[in-house]
């Protein structure tokens, strides 16, 4: 007889290539999603455009993935988060990882959970800030897989966002305090993943959620200068501004010499933190005359972050 659990928890994330050969198909999956890249005539032109973007970007970023060991660390980190969360939750729970654009995909996660005969489901996207382009598309993808995998009839609770959840905020605050303890004065530069402006104009709450997290964090750093900027834009649409590069130029003109980056929309290290921030933005800052540039560590599998995830699950279950 198959073992059973009462609650199956699904952690959702975008995923990343698990080999150099996976870079191009991963990017093609990403840019084929209409929630990621939407523009006039996208229903007709999106797939060929996605192939073109994936072809160009895969060659451009190949060396970056080589520098990270030939793959993105995101999947391994998320699997480790799931393992540690399962240990915290204990008996009666199982935790499964469903990536949106690469393996393990939602079908695989659902098949794994189905073997345990769960009685209910909790969906916890690892995007603290809701957007149709991240949380929305990942939830839609999972629901299709739940129906296909025979679990669509189960009671389901979805954590749509957790931008001001206090244990999450405290984990960020601790990471920052560990980082800036060595400096007397710094400017906190919150860097969030960019989003097309058109989504915000249509009511997407992502920007408001990002600002809510920044405000909650800054309540613990009274008097510290801080700014918000955006990174990782792609495609022929208008994106949220200022970009990190634009903000660094502004800070340099103001004479700022010490910058601490807080990658506010990422809970795990991947190409945007390890390469874009740690290498490209650092080099750009140095060229601008900003001699001290550092990044607060990502939350990854920090115990306080796993505690935050545990409390999110428990509070959702006890609603």
HEC states along the chain? CCCCCCEEEEEEECCCCCCHHHHHHHHHHHHHCCCCCCCCCHHHHHHHHHHHHHHHHHHHHHHHHHHCCCCCCHHHHHHHHHHHHHHHHCCCEEEEEEECCCCCEHHHHHHHHHCCCCCEEEEEECCCCCCHHHHHHHHHHHHHHHHHCCCCCCCEEECCCCCCCHHHHHHHHHHHHHHHCCCCCCEEEEEEECCEHHHHHCCCCHHHHHHHHHHHHHCCCCCCCEEEEEECCCCCCCECCCEHHHHHHHHHHCCCCEEEEEECCCCCCCHHHHHHHHHHHHHHHHHHCCCEEEECCCCCCCHHHHHHHHHHHHHHHCC
Using the predicted structure, report yes or no on whether residue 184 has a pLDDT greater than 70.
no
Using the predicted structure, report yes or no on whether residue 113 has a pLDDT greater than 90.
yes
pLDDT of residue 40: 59
Using the predicted structure, report yes or no on whether residue 236 has a pLDDT greater than 80.
no
Per-residue tokens: 246: 């634009």
246 confidence band (pLDDT: 50, 70, 90):
very high
Q: Give 119 or 38, the one with higher predicted confidence.
A: 119
What's the mean pLDDT in 258-273? 96
> Residues 240, 229: contact at Cβ < 8 Å?
no
Using the predicted structure, report yes or no on whether residue 235 has a pLDDT greater than 50.
yes
Global pTM?
A: 0.94
d(CA 103, CA 124): 18
What's the mean pLDDT in 55-75? 94
pLDDT of residue 301: 98
Class assignment of domain 7-16+72-161?
Answer: alpha beta
Using the predicted structure, report yes or no on whether residue 152 has a pLDDT greater than 80.
yes
Query: Hey, what CATH topology would domain 166-295 get?
Result: Rossmann fold (3.40.50)
Within the chain, all domains assigned CATH 3.40.50.1400 are found at 7-16+72-161, 166-295
pLDDT of residue 63: 95
Percent of the chain predicted with pLDDT > 90: 83
Using the predicted structure, report yes or no on whether residue 57 has a pLDDT greater than 80.
yes
d(CA 249, CA 254): 9
What's the mean pLDDT in 223-244? 90
pLDDT of residue 12: 98
Which whole-number Å values give the CA distances from 271 to 2, 38, 207, 274, in the listed order?
Answer: 39, 23, 22, 5
pLDDT of residue 1: 37
49 confidence band (pLDDT: 50, 70, 90):
confident
């Amino acid at each position: 007889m198959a073992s059973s659990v009462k609650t199956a928890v699904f952690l959702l994330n975008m995923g990343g290539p698990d080999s150099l050969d996976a870079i191009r198909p991963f990017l093609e999956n990403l840019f084929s999603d209409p929630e990621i890249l939407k523009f006039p005539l996208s229903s007709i032109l999106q797939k060929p455009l996605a192939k073109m973007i994936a072809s160009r970007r895969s060659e451009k970023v190949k060396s970056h993935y080589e520098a990270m060991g030939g793959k993105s660390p995101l999947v391994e980190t998320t699997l480790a988060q799931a393992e540690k969360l399962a240990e915290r939750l204990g008996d009666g729970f199982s935790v499964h990882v469903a990536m949106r654009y690469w393996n393990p995909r939602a079908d695989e996660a659902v098949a794994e959970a189905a073997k345990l005969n769960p009685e209910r489901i909790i969906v916890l996207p690892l995007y603290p800030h809701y957007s149709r382009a991240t949380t929305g598309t990942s939830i839609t993808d999972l629901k299709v897989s739940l129906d296909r995998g025979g679990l669509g009839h189960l009671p389901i609770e979805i954590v749509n966002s957790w931008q001001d959840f206090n244990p999450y905020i405290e984990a960020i605050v601790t990471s920052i305090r560990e980082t800036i303890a060595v400096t007397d004065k710094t400017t906190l530069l919150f860097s969030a993943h960019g989003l097309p402006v058109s989504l915000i104009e249509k009511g997407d709450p992502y920007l408001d959620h990002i600002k809510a997290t920044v405000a909650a964090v800054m309540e613990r750093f009274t008097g510290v200068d801080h700014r918000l900027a955006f990174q990782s834009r792609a495609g022929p649409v208008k994106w949220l501004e200022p970009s990190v590069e634009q903000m660094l130029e502004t800070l340099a003109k103001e004479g700022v010499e010490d910058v601490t980056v807080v990658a506010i929309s990422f809970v795990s290290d991947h190409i945007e933190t390890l390469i874009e921030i740690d290498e490209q933005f650092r080099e750009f800052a140095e060229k601008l005359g900003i001699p001290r540039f550092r990044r607060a560590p990502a939350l990854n599998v920090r115990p306080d972050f796993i505690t935050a995830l545990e409390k999110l699950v428990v509070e959702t279950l006890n609603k």
